[in-house]
Amino acid sequence: MKRRTLLATGTTAAMAAVLGAPLRAQEPLKVGFVYVGPINDGGWTQHHHHSAKEMEEHFGGAVELLYQESVPEGPDAERVMTQMVRQGCKLIFTTSFGYMDPTINVAARFPDVKFEHATGYKTAENVSAYSARFYEGRAIQGTLAGRMTKSNKVGYIGSVPIPEVVRGINSAFIHARKVNPDVEFKIVWIFEWLNPAKEADAAKVLIEQGCDVILQHTDSTAPHAAAKEAGNVYTFGQAADMAEFGPMPRISSIIDNWAPYYIERTQAVLDGTWTSVNTWDGIGAGMVGIGEISSAVPEEYKAEAEAMRDAIAAGEYHPFTGPINKQDGSPWLAEGEVADDGTLAGLSFYVEGIEGDIPS
């Protein structure tokens, strides 16, 4: 294949020389990114954008990056994707769950363009889906939360009530309870991925309720600022390290590492080998990273968390291993039974011990 390409290029060059026509360099592959938040949100979008830039730098002049930030989930996303196609993008990454149906709709109109959708589950001949096993990181955060709380009240700021977020709450709670049976979780939903004011207010409400550890599945650093102001409250970075708030209140983090995937999938388009896939990777594959654990955490707890990280990475431990009951007390996973990916992908219930309902 490469030999035929070289021969064809050589023939074209020879003909151009004979005819006196100017040679044109191969145009770069235009790759588009659609972001739900601003590229300086400190978390989810910022980390996607850093990975996109790393991808662009990897390929040098062979790739041109186009992006649009703060695109609402819904019809407006279709307009942005369509505009990117009109601008010449042949590969488009759409980086939020609510872009799933818009991505499928636009892809159907442009079968020659490749689409990659983050955190969804729908695919097509020219649409791939990709996500990270964030629940693996939540298991580690839950372990640290259970060890570090003095009030036995842990707060959790939920964004949008989809399976991805429910999985994270369950995983964190299961592992907090394993090391501290007295732990209670208090959950506040803001129904948005990014809203610093709401995130800060949610953190303040949880602190007023006695929570001295706060986890978040939202995109900004506002909960950390609220915790820092309150004092003696622990937090965890989400999507990005958020290390500027360490060693207190931020004591560790989940770090999303998308760059290797972006490089791999862009290379596939350049090579002409791209096919639709559904990727769900975690700590072992390097898509989920665990930020450095703060000096505020005692060494024995740090070692415990790092041992869990290593066991998950090696495939020796799965965060959803029975016995685990559903919230109503009915059995879900028997002793030693591991939840399958299909069940986890659509998880829509709390585990036993979590109070309250999942918003509809």
| pLDDT band (50, 70, 90) for residue 147 | very high
Residue 23 has pLDDT above 80, yes or no: no
Q: What percent of the chain has a predicted confidence (pLDDT) above 70?
A: 93
Question: H-type helices in the chain, by residue range?
Answer: 2-19, 44-59, 75-86, 100-109, 134-148, 163-179, 196-208, 222-230, 259-271, 299-313, 341-345
pLDDT digit string (tens) for 41-54? 999 999 999 999 99
Q: Please, what is the end-to-end C-alpha distance for the chain in angstroms?
A: 53
| Interval 143-162 mean pLDDT | 98
Instruction: Give the pairing of strands 250-256 and 288-290.
Output: antiparallel
| pLDDT band (50, 70, 90) for residue 179 | very high
Quote the pLDDT of residue 28: 97
pLDDT digit string (tens) for 285-305? 999 999 999 999 999 999 999
Spatial CA neighbour of 149 closest among 207, 90, 217: 207
Structure tokens at 38: 């601003």
Phi-psi region of 277 (alpha: psi -120 to 50; beta: other; left: phi over 0): beta
Q: How many CB atoms lie within 10 A of CB 86?
A: 9
Amino acid at 18: V
CB 188 within 8 A of CB 198: no
Q: What is the spatial distance between Cα 106 and Cα 157, in angstroms, rounded to a whole number?
A: 33
pLDDT digit string (tens) for 197-236? 999 999 999 999 999 999 999 999 999 999 999 999 999 9
Structure tokens at 35: 């972001």
For residue 21, give the DSSP letter.
P
Q: What is the spatial distance between Cα 311 and Cα 143, in angstroms, rounded to a whole number?
A: 14
Q: What is the spatial distance between Cα 261 and Cα 279, in angstroms, rounded to a whole number?
A: 9
Non-local (6+) Cβ contacts of 264 within 8 A are: none
Q: What is the spatial distance between Cα 298 and Cα 143, in angstroms, rounded to a whole number?
A: 13
Residue 22 has pLDDT above 70, yes or no: no
Quote the pLDDT of residue 26: 79
| Interval 247-274 mean pLDDT | 97
Quote the pLDDT of residue 317: 98
CB 218 within 8 A of CB 42: no
| pLDDT band (50, 70, 90) for residue 31 | very high
pLDDT digit string (tens) for 182-194? 999 999 999 999 9
pLDDT digit string (tens) for 296-329? 999 999 999 999 999 999 999 999 999 999 999 9
pLDDT digit string (tens) for 58-89? 999 999 999 999 999 989 999 999 999 999 99
Structure tokens at 312: 């998950």
User: To the nearest whole number, what is the mean pLDDT of the chain?
Assistant: 93
Spatial CA neighbour of 279 closest among 268, 290, 270, 271: 268
> pLDDT higher for 19 or 190?
190
Q: Which residues pair with 116 in a beta bridge?
A: 93, 128
Quote the pLDDT of residue 360: 86
| Interval 139-164 mean pLDDT | 98
Quote the pLDDT of residue 25: 54
pLDDT digit string (tens) for 86-117? 999 999 999 999 999 999 999 999 999 999 99
Look at the pTM and tell me if it is higher than 0.85. Answer: yes
